[in-house]
Structure 1
Amino acid sequence: MSQYRISVLLIAMTVLLSGCDKSAQDPNVMFSEKHKDPIAELAVTDKPDHSKLGYQQTFYVPIYSDIYSDSENQKVLLSATLSIRNTTLKNPLYINKIDYYNTNGDFVKSYIDSPIKLPPMATLNYIIEKEDDSGGSGANFIIDVEGVDDTVKPVIEAIMIGNFSNKGFAFSTEGTPVAP
């Protein structure tokens, strides 16, 4: 085999094997400032003292993994961004749960294993890829948050984008407070 063919083969193998690292392909890692998982970056090293936290709320956030087009009832896959924003200038927001459910109400995935701490005025954005249709058209998140008092109220939204044929579209939903 010629030197040229061996070089091409080695380059091709390197490219293919480097594509096997899931974290390198994760858009949440690729698009973050530090190229690290944004949820892992916010992990709490010391557990919050719940007795000092006077605000606690559970939010329901609708997500659409797919919608149907008016043309032949085709399913159009969507990418979504979950956005959790701490609206206070001084106090952190603790996020205790980010759970994902599908259209049938079945639990799909938990995005955190332990509480995370969102600094004042910070935002956590998390991308659900277009190819992830595990949630279906009625997917949703249940998010539990805590703060020092009721001035620590987050803004929680989801933004979905997609395209069909030569048309692009985007829409958003808001988190709704619900009973835990």
Structure 2
Amino acid sequence: MKKLLSGLVLVAGLFAPATAPAQDFTEKVLGETIYVPAYSRVFSHPNRSDLLAATLAVHNVDPDTEITLTRVDYHGEDGKLLRALLEAPVTLAPLQSSTALIPINDTSGGVGANFLLEWTSETPALSPIAEAIMTSGSGGPGPSFASRGRVIERKLAGD
């Protein structure tokens, strides 16, 4: 049995995805663009899907520095802008959060919708946590999950 398990570990290691270099979460920067996947529905069978509400949550994790959200946009699965969610920049104090809701009856984004947000700071700050929380909102058992954002552009001090 021990040989079988070690063989499985070896085989599993052969097919494991290559790991990217670890991100330095303590690096302070002047701003970023963050892509956050979101889903307005998920399929459980070829002809059956569950509608989902999506809440974008942005957490300023820097205990000392405020950041300013300058853009929060909602895009459909085709990549087209559906709507801008900010009417004016929003400043988040240290450890403050902000949210935006795409209601359960809004299916305009499709299965592969996403949020694109930009933030800046006058002094270097830690990258915020940006994630989408999707839920069926039906009150009963149903799909519920979250997806974490990914930095796609970064503004360093001196850029």
State the distance in 1 between where 2:122 and 2:149 align: 20
Q: How does 1:51-130 map to 2 (within 5 A)?
A: 55-70=30-45, 72-130=46-104
Select the residue among 123, 136, 151 that pairs with 1:162.
Answer: 136
State the distance in 2 between where 1:79 and 1:163 align: 7
State the distance in 1 between where 2:64 and 2:153 align: 27
* TM-score normalized by the length of structure 1: 0.64
Contact 2:39 2:113 in 1 (8 A): yes
Once the two structures are superposed, what CA deviation does each residue of 1:34-92 show, in whole Å capped at 9, x if it has no partner?
xxxxxxxxxxxxxxxxxxxx61100000000011122x521211011110000111211
Residue 119 of structure 1 aligns to which amino acid in structure 2? A
Aligned length: 125
Q: Compared with structure 1, are the counterparts of its residues 148 and 133 closer, same or farther at alpha carbon in structure 2 (3 Å cutoff)?
A: same
State the distance in 1 between where 2:47 and 2:30 align: 44
The answer to whether structure 1 residue 143 and structure 2 residue 117 are counterparts is yes
State the distance in 1 between where 2:38 and 2:131 align: 9
| Higher Cα radius of gyration | 1
State the distance in 2 between where 1:123 and 1:58 align: 17
The answer to whether structure 1 residue 152 and structure 2 residue 126 are counterparts is yes
State the distance in 2 between where 1:171 and 1:140 align: 15
- For structure 1, list consecutive stretches of 5 or more residues without a partner in the other structure: 1-53
Q: Higher relative contact order at CA 8 Å, sep ≥6: structure 1 or structure 2?
A: 2
Contact 1:55 1:150 in 2 (8 A): yes
* TM-score normalized by the length of structure 2: 0.72
Same amino acid, percent of matched pairs: 30
Deviation at 1:163, TM superposition (A): 6.8
- For structure 2, list consecutive stretches of 5 or more residues without a partner in the other structure: 1-28, 155-159
Residue 67 of structure 1 aligns to which amino acid in structure 2? V
State the distance in 1 between where 2:126 and 2:89 align: 16
Deviation at 1:113, TM superposition (A): 2.7
The answer to whether structure 1 residue 178 and structure 2 residue 146 are counterparts is no
Moved segments of 4+, more than 4 Å: none
Contact 1:62 1:173 in 2 (8 A): yes
1 or 2, which has the higher helix percentage? 1
SS in 2 for 1:168: coil
SS in 1 for 2:42: strand
SS in 1 for 2:143: strand
1 or 2, which has the higher strand percentage? 2
Supply the RMSD in Å over aligned alpha carbons: 1.9
